Structure 1
Amino acid sequence: MATIVAEHIGRLFISLQQIRQVPRMLTEATPSMPATLRDSDVPACLRDRHITSGYRQLHQNWRYYFFSLFQRHSETLNVWTHLIGLLIILAKFCDLAENVDFVNDRHAWPLLVLLISSLNYTAFSVIAHLLGSKSELCHFIFYYLDYVGVAQYQYGSALVHFYYAIDANMYSLVKGIYLPTAATFSFLSFVGCCYGKYNSLHSCIRKFGHVVPSALAYLWDISPVIWRLVYWSEASDDPALVYHFGQVACFLTAAAFYTFPIVEKCFPGQCNFLGQSHQIFHIFMSCTTLCQIHASFLDYVGRRDVYLSLHKSGEAGLYAQLYAFTIMTCVLTGGVILRRVNHMLVKHKCI
């Protein structure tokens, strides 16, 4: 008996010794962080307006960029603000999966597309901000992937608004054109963002490419919600409208911070780590998405008689195929643009 007890104590002691080694092992596994750079020391396409320092060095090994998630630099909080949002959306997905039959109920597929597109855009944003400093070519590749995420999320938003939130009167006006137009606007938004990034030295062109197509896409995508907020006489009895109003308010706030770097401009050089407008934009975009998901779920549950009368069961599958087609079109177009970017970088001896 004493021998058995001694063996257990010995194993416990060994386990405790191994646990004590974990912090040291993590420290050794994490590469030391080379000194960050000033904006004048990195290529122009990697610079952010009014962010004067904290840029990571280029051409390091991949482990350096992955582990920079836990280190201080200009992109740290841009990564974490969407990484936390991604985890919250994933938890929401798991919660909804317990109450919604995403496999057998085709009318739940638009909600599924929204959830998948929400996870995609936040994940692609995390990847872009985490790995985009590897090189100039990697910067373009990962940010173009980020723009694919934006485009497919725009279509996912349009789909749930058209399927669950739309009023019958508006449906009769746009039923044949709404989603094809939404897909077209999503594609144009992707192309505009890519073109703006390609012309990153020209701030006006970059801002125009990023903002104008995305604004047009949003106005079209949100129109069923706005119509319902304005014209539906039973709005006071609908719990989903609170969350629809919340998503609109959060998005407009996010758009303001994205379009105008207010904080950095007011405090130049003071927001290199904390307080960047883009970080605030990420936070409000995550809030937008969470409000949108919950509003769409409430519409899925509470407006079933409405959307069953408007949509046939087979339509959801067609709409999901259009979602896949939108992604494929953006990816292929991005590949063509990246070839031109690569040629430009080679010509200027950047790679």
Structure 2
Amino acid sequence: MTDEMESSKPDSTEADVRRRVLARTLSEPNNDGDNQSTYARSKSYPSKPESNDDNNELMDAVFEMPTKCAEQAKEVGKLVVQYVVDHSHLPHWLLDNEFLISGHRPPMPSFKQCFASIFRLHTETVNIWTHLLGTLFFIIIAIYFITRPSSEVHIEKKITFGVFFLGAILCLLFSTLYHTVYCHSPKVSKLFNKLDYCGISILIIASFIPWIYYGFYCEFGTKIAYLLITITLGTGCIIVSMWDKFSAPEYRTCRALLFIAFGLFGFVPTCHYVLLFGFKHAFTTGAAQWLVVMAVLYITGASLYAARIPERLAPGYFDIWFQSHQIFHVFVVAAACVHYYGICVLSKHQSDIGDCRKGVLPSIHNAFNSVYQ
């Protein structure tokens, strides 16, 4: 009998322990579904229930943090992509580049929405910012240049350079406005598209004027002739740009070729300059090398724009970044900066020449003497 009682003690003790563990586990809160870890925490800190609650709240906050971050990331993402659509969902008047598959803005019949989209990511974001920053850059340079004292920068130079600054600012500003509001409505899109192409013609005219003026500084007849031809060709490009059909996508190649042909006209006075003053003088004092670099940048950018490279090679991969129009914009700003540097170098030739009348009047006097002798 005694042996039976002694043999039953371990069993009764073990059963008693199990009952106490189970009772303690059920009496304590269990937020994570782990009874053993809950019991361990309660047994480790039996006299500090408040500390246990603080720890639980801290752990809950830590576990909730990734969820909150994910929700915030979704909210930020909505600012970027909630309003963009695929190319197939665009109306016919917004269809332009079929190789850009996604990331397009839908029609936004509000100028406020259009300008707010400047700070969001879509197919036109880089196009807007490249020329917007270029506009601000040339405005700052123009203000600094024109406000210099007359003792440092002569009024004649301010006017000549001012023509170039005005052309660069108008071209880049019209482009910025077009890429910002062209999704407003068909009427607004056509209007600013025309202004965009007019701006390109204005920039080409404004780029030729200072170079011709300083390059043929004492060649008055030649200078006037080239200036008149440049203005006439530029006016013709502006008139063609005002034609409604000219802005249609099927005329993309024609547009590029027209402006390339107008830009290539610059090689005519350049070759004349080389024949008149010599090759070495043209590519040192005449800064013709910078004119060539500018032309290469313009032609390369326009060619990529017309061929839609690189998005044509991988449709959908260049919807937001590095599309042909963006590359063209970067090349336009770079070419304008190169041209500005070139005419700065060329304008120094004026101080070397001095007053043209000192060289012209003796030549006329010698010509009369040779006739009457």
Q: For the residues of structure 2 that align with 1:59 and 1:236, how far apart are their CA atoms?
A: 50
- 1:254-280 CA distance string (max 9 Å, x none): 222222211011111111111111101
> Cα distance, 1:180 vs. partner?
2.2
Q: Does 1:280 align with 2:364?
A: no
Preserved contact between residue 304 and residue 324 of structure 2 (Cα < 8 Å): yes
Equivalent residue of 1:266, what SS? coil
> Cα distance, 1:141 vs. partner?
0.9
Q: For the residues of structure 2 that align with 1:249 and 1:199, how far apart are their CA atoms?
A: 24
Equivalent residue of 2:183, what SS? coil
Which residue number in structure 1 is paired with residue 136 of structure 2?
87
> Cα distance, 1:212 vs. partner?
3.2
Preserved contact between residue 244 and residue 292 of structure 1 (Cα < 8 Å): yes
Q: For the residues of structure 1 that align with 2:284 and 2:197, how far apart are their CA atoms?
A: 38
Which residue number in structure 1 is paired with residue 24 of structure 2?
none
> Cα distance, 1:295 vs. partner?
1.2
- 1:197-242 CA distance string (max 9 Å, x none): 55615x1x4421x123322321224533354467433246438344
Which residue number in structure 1 is paired with residue 84 of structure 2?
36
Which residue number in structure 2 is paired with residue 148 of structure 1?
198
CA distance change for structure 1 residues 191 and 233 in 2, over 3 Å: closer, same or farther?
A: same
Q: For the residues of structure 2 that align with 1:115 and 1:55, how far apart are their CA atoms?
A: 33
Preserved contact between residue 263 and residue 277 of structure 1 (Cα < 8 Å): yes
Which residue number in structure 1 is paired with residue 180 of structure 2?
130
CA distance change for structure 1 residues 142 and 155 in 2, over 3 Å: closer, same or farther?
A: same
Which residue number in structure 1 is paired with residue 248 of structure 2?
200
Which residue number in structure 1 is paired with residue 210 of structure 2?
160
Task: Tell me which structure has the larger Cα radius of gyration.
Answer: 2
Which residue number in structure 1 is paired with residue 369 of structure 2?
none
Which residue number in structure 1 is paired with residue 117 of structure 2?
68
Q: For the residues of structure 2 that align with 1:297 and 1:247, how far apart are their CA atoms?
A: 14
Equivalent residue of 2:311, what SS? helix
TM-score by length of 1: 0.69
Preserved contact between residue 31 and residue 64 of structure 1 (Cα < 8 Å): no
Which residue number in structure 2 is paired with residue 213 of structure 1?
258
> Cα distance, 1:75 vs. partner?
0.5
Q: Does 1:296 align with 2:346?
A: no
Q: Relative contact order (C-alpha < 8 Å, sep 6+): which is higher?
A: 1
Q: For the residues of structure 2 that align with 1:112 and 1:183, how far apart are their CA atoms?
A: 16
Q: For the residues of structure 1 that align with 2:271 and 2:108, how far apart are their CA atoms?
A: 47
Residue identity opposite 2:126 in structure 1: L
> Cα distance, 1:166 vs. partner?
3.5
> Cα distance, 1:187 vs. partner?
2.1
Which residue number in structure 2 is paired with residue 254 of structure 1?
301
Number of aligned positions between the proteins:
278
Instruction: Calculate the aligned-residue CA RMSD, in Å.
Output: 3.1
Q: For the residues of structure 2 that align with 1:246 and 1:127, how far apart are their CA atoms?
A: 28
Equivalent residue of 2:103, what SS? strand
Equivalent residue of 2:227, what SS? helix
Residue identity opposite 2:230 in structure 1: A
